[in-house]
Amino acid sequence: MDLRQRLVVGALWIGVAGLMLLTLYPPPSLSLSVLIRLFVVALALFLAFVYLFDPRGALSRQPFH
């Protein structure tokens, strides 16, 4: 992936994390659904980090092509 594509995909994942955070307001009591939503937020932020910063060339190597 080139830089422009990675920036777009990273921004989309940040948007997904933001939307999921909006569903957590007001903060309800700790339950399974809240924990799952927090996991989705963490996963989306992790994927955004991978697409934005490309650690160790994970995306530029194209290991699955």
The structure's pTM equals 0.80
Each residue's pLDDT, cut to its tens digit, for the chain (65 residues) gives: 788 988 999 999 999 999 998 988 777 788 888 888 889 999 999 999 988 888 877 777 766 65
Q: What is the 3-state secondary structure (H, E, C) of the chain?
A: CCHHHHHHHHHHHHHHHHHHHHCCCCCCCCCHHHHHHHHHHHHHHHHHHHHHHCHHHCCCCCCCC
Ordered by start, the domain boundaries in the chain are 3-53
